[in-house]
Structure 1
């Protein structure tokens, strides 16, 4: 089965907002064995929408559309649906009552005609009830393609995908199984890994595909198997991982489907009852932010001190001014002071500290651009490693963050 995801909205095309809806929809489809064939972003233009519908008709099984639905006059998806399917709008009583409950009951204001118009739906549509907002979803079938329209508001779209769209697709179609397994590696580049596992990759069964997913400091190796027997697929992937592991065992940090290194790290800390804290300079709080973004992080993440300026390292962390003057603010000695101080202040079992020259100028240190010192404190030891991440600035910060996670993960 194939699907195309279409996002409607000029705000996406001009870069005003980032399209996160397509990613969420694609992941949901993948879990039920529907492959996303294409993702499109198109303008709020009736002719453009109609042309897109015509292009996709009978080329894919499902077209999932977000955007162009709402209480404003420029929301045109419903009217375009009527033109394309030769239909007319009718009022849905259940939707109208829901809109009244929200406007009059929750917002405590009179309902307007624009609000009432939210209850208008094409007469041929199957209405997908939206408990999270006023605009319902719509399910229309024409020849060999299903067209599903949803609001562009992310939390409304997610509710409809999880509670209406996916259950209906599961009920309607028999689908193949798609099984993923991702191996997370750190500290080695994509091309080098590819050389080391070339023979293994060449001997993969035809129904298993390998994808390299590189990012600064890390490479995820994703195995995907497709077929009609889920157990067979899972066993095949399991056996392939067993044969792969000895080839790159020293750089593997986990086996996960969706989870990132910070999620895996948090899980390990929680399992072992350990805590962690960070003192950040060149990474600007990004390590702490990524740790804090995980649900349940308060059980293991003590906090972060972002001491970006040299004086804040002295005033807030208590780093010795003499050490900074003697060795420079970007140095092994200052990184050691930072990690020891934050571990003491926060009372954590583990700690991370970063100091470096991310660029494009050198700031308070004469260290080369791209040089970063990362210090790790554990219950038993403290150590520092020096890295040269080059340029540009964004690359330095991202690689420093990933390397910090890698180093502390290995210690735990």
Structure 2
């Protein structure tokens, strides 16, 4: 069948002035890609009628599916719903199922009084199919015109995701009889994207045209993703598995895991398999490592806790770092993180621990220890391994990069690679 193309239109002045970061487009694009629909354009427009209509007119020329998010709230600047009603030649009517849901949401869930402005969220164009939205008051709306599909959804990310997963994606699969898109991934670390591409240039050159290889770098790791389209009359899955095996052999020395997992997901799995636990002692990351681990369901099985010792006094009083160590080597040093790790192991009684201390920026550096210097210790009761890294990013990204480096260093420590 022909390729189904999509466009994404995000609506809101807050997107254009940078007040809100557009995460919706990225999530929708990934979801559509996994469904077999190719996103050709992503457009952001403000809360202006003319701009939204222009975007609709332009995108319908080249896309089969146009997805919109935003502008569906109860305030005056939320103009998407009446605009779409006019655009598709309908009139506003009350959707009783949505009205009942809004009343239930306020009276039973939120325990708050309801006002007429809230109830008006149940009004929808009579030319659309209503997508209920169990997570909020604004319904999604599905329009079809001239062979094109238009879907309008709330801009609130978790509401949009619910509508996409529960309504939009199943309807698109049924509408277009989409074949499954197959992916196989490998996560690598310790090698840059360009060097990795050079390393597997021969493998990539031999790939058949229907197998695509993507490089997806992120915080010191590069994910390789093989993709193809499967169908009942092909051996696409077997072919992809074979190529996935060949790729694993080609990158074996830098491979973290041969699945689409984050480093924190892999670490929790590894600890579960070993019946082991871990803790963290954090200075420069301020608890961020603890955050990304505990954001995973089931992490309580392997993660015992964190000690955030930002000041030197806390390092000494809580973790037992020696004053002489801090004076001689400084807070950002391998001797200091080694003592932080020992203190965390004693305090939290875990199998393994990670300790980090660094200079995240934008200031605080020196010629000897510039901004981006970070020391990391990973260890157990038997031994401690330390390493110092030199990062080159802004503060927020340095923190995120440090967390990934720390967990990857822990992975290597557990597996006996360091």
1:165-204 matches, cutoff 5 A: 165-204=168-207
Residues 346-398 of structure 1, C-alpha deviations (whole Å, 9 max, x = no match): 10100111223334444699534433221111354221122233455445434
Q: Distance in 2 between matches of 1:367 and 1:138?
A: 55
Q: Aligned to 1:134, what secondary structure does the other structure show?
A: coil
Aligned counterpart, 1:129: 132
**Is the deviation greater in 223-232 or in 280-289?**
223-232
1:89-108 matches, cutoff 5 A: 89-104=92-107
**TM-score of the superposition, structure 1-length normalised?**
0.92
Q: Aligned to 2:385, what secondary structure does the other structure show?
A: strand
Aligned residues of 2:10 and 2:43 also touching (Cα < 8 A):
yes
Aligned counterpart, 1:252: 255
Aligned residues of 1:58 and 1:143 also touching (Cα < 8 A):
no
Root-mean-square deviation over aligned CA pairs: 2.3
Aligned counterpart, 1:338: 340
1:345-356 matches, cutoff 5 A: 345-356=347-358
Q: What is the CA distance between 1:337 and its match in structure 2?
A: 0.8
Q: Aligned to 2:251, what secondary structure does the other structure show?
A: helix
**TM-score of the superposition, structure 2-length normalised?**
0.91
Q: What is the CA distance between 1:197 and its match in structure 2?
A: 0.9
Residue 13 (structure 2) pairs with residue 10 (structure 1): yes
Alpha-carbon spacing, 1:359–1:96, altered in 2? closer, same or farther (3 Å):
closer
Alpha-carbon spacing, 1:105–1:221, altered in 2? closer, same or farther (3 Å):
closer
**Is the deviation greater in 308-317 or in 367-376?**
367-376
Alpha-carbon spacing, 1:391–1:103, altered in 2? closer, same or farther (3 Å):
closer
Aligned residues of 1:69 and 1:76 also touching (Cα < 8 A):
yes
Q: Distance in 1 between matches of 2:19 and 2:246?
A: 46
**Is the deviation greater in 376-385 or in 196-205?**
376-385
Q: Aligned to 2:389, what secondary structure does the other structure show?
A: strand
Aligned residues of 1:118 and 1:135 also touching (Cα < 8 A):
yes
Q: Distance in 2 between matches of 1:308 and 1:109?
A: 41
Aligned counterpart, 1:325: 327
Aligned counterpart, 2:34: 31
Alpha-carbon spacing, 1:183–1:379, altered in 2? closer, same or farther (3 Å):
farther
Q: Distance in 2 between matches of 1:347 and 1:36?
A: 49
Residue 246 (structure 2) pairs with residue 243 (structure 1): yes
Aligned residues of 2:385 and 2:413 also touching (Cα < 8 A):
no
Q: Distance in 2 between matches of 1:37 and 1:213?
A: 19
Alpha-carbon spacing, 1:331–1:174, altered in 2? closer, same or farther (3 Å):
same
